Amino acid sequence: GAGVSQSPSNKVTEKGKDVELRCDPISGHTALYWYRQSLGQGLEFLIYFQGNSAPDKSGLPSDRFSAERTGGSVSTLTIQRTQQEDSAVYLCASSFPGSENIQYFGAGTRLSVL
Amino acid sequence: GEDVEQSLFLSVREGDSSVINCTYTDSSSTYLYWYKQEPGAGLQLLTYIFSNMDMKQDQRLTVLLNKKDKHLSLRIADTQTGDSAIYFCAERDTGRRALTFGSGTRLQVQP
């Protein structure tokens, strides 16, 4: 597609449920990032995928968070046993691996945990 | 660790210039970026500057970098109501691909 696509755009769930968020990067972009934006805050890095290399998971806040990237394209971020503090906008970005590393962002998934 | 700070709010009149400021702590930053976020939308890259530059101009946008003071600014000339948004400063250091973002500056343009 023309840009980074994320789904769903909004997700409301109950505390304790698992959720899956999807990101479809720009075609040909080998790098993919997940960030979290809490209300009134900047973006917090979660995880980074580059090609077939092992992902950089250093930003994941707990072991309830995990992500996969299948076939070097689509990525799924999974949050298990959601908590109210997980409520945020989850943003995905993709880029070419050039030195400028221009990251292009999707519109995000707004997650609300009740 | 890295830290990027911005003022929270700026209000200007239409036609005036806006200057949004950002400070960062990581001396190994290589690239610094300005992103714009409109309500309900993702982040749109406005411009970026390499750390060995001190100025970059792109139409109405001027980025100034003072590497010694670790200070970055974005000047928007002839600010329009369509420029109302949240502006994020971000930096990337040599060791990481991910960006470190400030908390964003909300620009309000009064007609």
- Counting beta carbons within 10 angstroms of the beta carbon of residue A59, is it exposed (0 to 12), middle (13 to 18) or buried (19 or more)? middle
pLDDT confidence of residue B2: 64
The answer to whether B93 and B111 are in contact (CB under 8 A) is no
User: Is there a contact between B98 and A108 if contact means CB atoms under 8 Å apart?
Assistant: no
Angle at A58 between CA A53 and CA A60, to 5 degrees: 110
**Is-contact B105 B87, C-beta < 8 A?**
yes
Count, in order, helices (H) and strands (E) of chain B: 0, 11
- The pLDDT, as a whole number, for residue A21 is 98
Note whether B98 contacts A50, CB cutoff 8 Å: no
Report chain A residues whose CB lies below 8 A from the CB of B104.
42
Q: With beta carbons less than 8 A apart as the criterion, state whether B20 and B4 touch.
A: no
Could you give the CA distance from residue A82 to residue A69 in angstroms, rounded to a whole number?
Answer: 21
Please state, in angstroms and rounded to a whole number, the distance separating the CA atoms of residues A12 and A4.
Answer: 22
Contact between A105 and B101 using a beta-carbon 8 Å cutoff: no
In the predicted model, is pLDDT for residue B94 greater than 70? Answer: no
pLDDT of residue B46 exceeding 90: yes
Using DSSP's 3-state secondary structure scheme, residue A86 falls into: helix
| B 66-95 near A (Cβ less than 8 A) | 88, 90, 92
A90-99 pLDDT, tens digit per residue, is 999 999 877 6
Cα B24 from Cα A43, distance rounded (Å): 15
Least CB–CB distance from B42: residue in A31, A102, A107:
A107
Q: Which residue ranges in chain A fall short of pLDDT 50?
A: none
Q: What is the mean pLDDT of chain B?
A: 90
pLDDT in tens, B52-80: 889 999 999 999 999 889 999 999 999 99
Name every chain A residue with its beta carbon within 8 A of the beta carbon of B43.
43, 91, 93, 105
- Confidence (pLDDT) at B51: 83
Closest CA in chain A for residue B98? A45
Residue B97 DSSP label: S
pLDDT at B83 over 90: yes
Percent of chain B residues topping a pLDDT of 70: 96
Is it true that the peptide bond before B39 is cis, omega within 30 degrees of 0? no
CA distance A40 to A31: 27
The radius of gyration of chain A from alpha carbons, rounded to an integer in Å, stands at 13
Among A40, A42, A105, whose Cβ lies nearest the Cβ of B102?
Answer: A42
